[in-house]
Amino acid sequence: MTAFYLAENPAGSSDGVSRGLLSLPREERPRERLLKDGPDALSDWDLLCIVLNTGIRGKGVDVLAGELLDKLDRCKDIPSVQELARINGLGLSKACAVTSMLELGRRRWGQQGTRIRDPSDVYELIRHFADRRQERFICLSLNGAHEVLAVRVVTVGLVNRTIVHPREVFSDPLQDRASAVCVAHNHPSGKVKPSAEDDEMTRTLKTAADVLGIHFLDHLVFSGETFFSYRESGFWGREERKVLG
């Protein structure tokens, strides 16, 4: 596998749309699929349905899990119990359970320290966002050895586009003292061919990163099945040739 990133130093819904779990055949429900196929086969929504177990009158666990997932996507860090309890139907008890689950996962198996060597390493860290019905723009802060410092959702966009400004993208990496960043966003359509707007956004972010002295490693456009890497595609070289005339 080609190492594109040379370090400087050696099926569910996330937007609260009910899928009606009880209307699904038993073998297609999250818990049964977990037992049969293991956790890797489940979406974030599926996993939250299992953790929450039940909803409330008038709001099924499927809708509640979707609202919780949307909240988590919009938080830069693990939200407090009080923040989660504001979700109608969650309550203090389930909010405590969710917060504890997230903190334990962070302590034991957090993404920090993961070494990024090529686009597929990035994809494995962010592919679980692919099932969102709105675009998520994601930024990975990396140290000089291209080890992950943090993975954050920067903005949540519309169904077919997301709007992002360099100050939103680089605000947290600067606080992280990151030496490099990699950005990515999902295409809910499942098609990963970048748009003209994606190209322009990539140019803008790379220019801003150069000014800030941060290595802009790559921009991935991804779905649940595959991804497009700007660096792997040769976009960097084409842009440099344009400048050189």
Res. 15 pLDDT band, cuts 50 70 90: very low
Question: In this structure, what token pair is assigned to residue 180?
Answer: 């490099």
pTM of the model: 0.76
Q: Alpha helix (H) ranges present in the chain?
A: 30-37, 44-52, 61-74, 81-85, 91-109, 119-126, 166-176, 196-212, 230-233, 235-244
pLDDT of residue 58: 87
pLDDT of residue 122: 95
Per-residue pLDDT reduced to its tens digit, 72-118 = 998 888 999 999 999 999 999 999 999 999 998 888 777 778 899 99
pLDDT of residue 222: 96
Highest mean pLDDT among 151-165, 193-207, 228-242: 193-207
Res. 123 pLDDT band, cuts 50 70 90: very high
Question: Residue 214: pLDDT above 50?
Answer: yes
- For the domain 119-244, what is the CATH code? 3.40.140.10
Question: Residue 13: pLDDT above 60?
Answer: no
Average of per-residue pLDDT values in the chain: 87
